[in-house]
Structure 1
Amino acid sequence: MKLEHLQEAFNQFNHNSKFLSHSELASGHINDTYLVKTSAGINYVLQRINHGVFKNVPGLISNKVNVSKHLQKKLAYLPKYELNRKVLSFVETTNGDYYYTDAEGNYWNLMVYIDNSITFETVTSADVAYEGGKLIGGFLNLTSDFDASKLSEVIPKFHDMPFRFSQFEDALKVASEERIEKAKEYIDLVWSLKDEMHIIQNLKESGDIKLRVTHNDTKISNVLFDTDNKGLCVIDTDTVMPGVVHYDFGDAIRTICNSAAEDETDLDKVNFNLEYYKAYTKGFLEQVESVLTPTELKYLPLGAKTMIFIIALRFLTDYLNGDIYFKTKYPEHNLDRAKNQFKLIESMTQKMDVYSN
Structure 2
Amino acid sequence: MNAEILTSIFNKFDHQSNYVSHSELNSGHINDTFLIKSDGNKDYILQRINHAIFKDVPGLVNNKVLTSNHIRSKYPNLSHKELNKTVLSFVKAKNTDFYYHNENGDFWNVMIFIEDSITYEIVKEEEIAYEGGKLLGDFLNLTSDFDSSKLIDVIPNFHDMSFRYKQYASSIQSASKARLTKAAKYIKIVVALKNEMHILQELKEAGEIPVRVTHNDTKISNSLFDKDNKGICMIDTDTVMPGIIHYDFGDAIRTICNTAAEDEKELSKVEFNLEYYKAYEKGFLEKTKDSLSETELKHLPLAAKTMIFIMAIRFLTDYLNNDVYYKTNYEEHNLDRAKNQFKLIESFSEKLSI
TM-score, normalised with respect to structure 1: 0.91
Amino acid at match of 2:73: K
Question: What SS does the corresponding residue of 2:224 show, helix, strand or coil?
Answer: strand
CA contact (8 A) 1:144 1:291 kept: no
Query: How far 1:58 sits from its partner (Å)?
Result: 0.3
The aligned counterpart of 2:123 is 123
Query: What is the root-mean-square deviation in Å for CA atoms of aligned residues?
Result: 2.2
Amino acid at match of 2:215: H
Distance in 2, Cα, partners of 1:264 & 1:140: 31
Distance in 1, Cα, partners of 2:239 & 2:321: 26
Query: How far 1:56 sits from its partner (Å)?
Result: 0.6
1:77 to 1:342, Cα distance in 2 relative to 1, 3 A: same
CA contact (8 A) 1:85 1:233 kept: no
Greater mean deviation of Cα atoms: 200-209 or 88-97: 88-97
CA contact (8 A) 1:76 1:83 kept: no
Query: How far 1:338 sits from its partner (Å)?
Result: 2.8
Residue 30 (1) aligns with residue 35 (2): no
The aligned counterpart of 1:166 is 166
Provide, for residues 147-179 of structure 1, a one-character-per-residue CA deviation record: whole Å limited to 9, x for no partner. Answer: 111101111111111111112222333345565
Residue 353 (1) aligns with residue 353 (2): yes
After TM superposition, what 4+ stretches of structure 1 lie above 6 angstroms from structure 2?
none
CA contact (8 A) 2:30 2:327 kept: no
The aligned counterpart of 1:138 is 138
Question: What SS does the corresponding residue of 1:48 show, helix, strand or coil?
Answer: strand
Provide, for residues 77-101 of structure 1, a one-character-per-residue CA deviation record: whole Å limited to 9, x for no partner. Answer: 3344332211011122333221222
1:172 to 1:13, Cα distance in 2 relative to 1, 3 A: closer
1:323 to 1:49, Cα distance in 2 relative to 1, 3 A: closer
Query: How far 1:136 sits from its partner (Å)?
Result: 1.2
Distance in 1, Cα, partners of 2:220 & 2:42: 26
Distance in 2, Cα, partners of 1:209 & 1:334: 32
TM-score, normalised with respect to structure 2: 0.92
Amino acid at match of 1:143: T
Query: How far 1:185 sits from its partner (Å)?
Result: 3.7
Distance in 2, Cα, partners of 1:328 & 1:25: 16
1:144 to 1:179, Cα distance in 2 relative to 1, 3 A: same
The aligned counterpart of 1:94 is 94
Amino acid at match of 2:198: H
- Number of corresponding residues: 354
Distance in 2, Cα, partners of 1:138 & 1:226: 16
Query: How far 1:45 sits from its partner (Å)?
Result: 1.7
Distance in 2, Cα, partners of 1:319 & 1:94: 41
Mind listing any 5+ residue stretches in structure 1 that lack a counterpart?
none
The aligned counterpart of 1:41 is 41
Provide, for residues 6-34 of structure 1, a one-character-per-residue CA deviation record: whole Å limited to 9, x for no partner. Answer: 33332332222333333333333322222
Mind listing any 5+ residue stretches in structure 2 that lack a counterpart?
none
CA contact (8 A) 2:122 2:259 kept: no
Distance in 2, Cα, partners of 1:59 & 1:272: 37
Query: How far 1:106 sits from its partner (Å)?
Result: 2.1
Taking the TM superposition and a 5 Å limit, the aligned residue runs for 1:1-357 are: 1-176=1-176, 179-180=179-180, 182-326=182-326, 333-353=333-353
Greater mean deviation of Cα atoms: 215-224 or 48-57: 48-57
Distance in 2, Cα, partners of 1:169 & 1:7: 44
Amino acid at match of 1:192: A
Amino acid at match of 1:30: I
Provide, for residues 72-128 of structure 1, a one-character-per-residue CA deviation record: whole Å limited to 9, x for no partner. Answer: 001223344332211011122333221222232322222211111111111110001
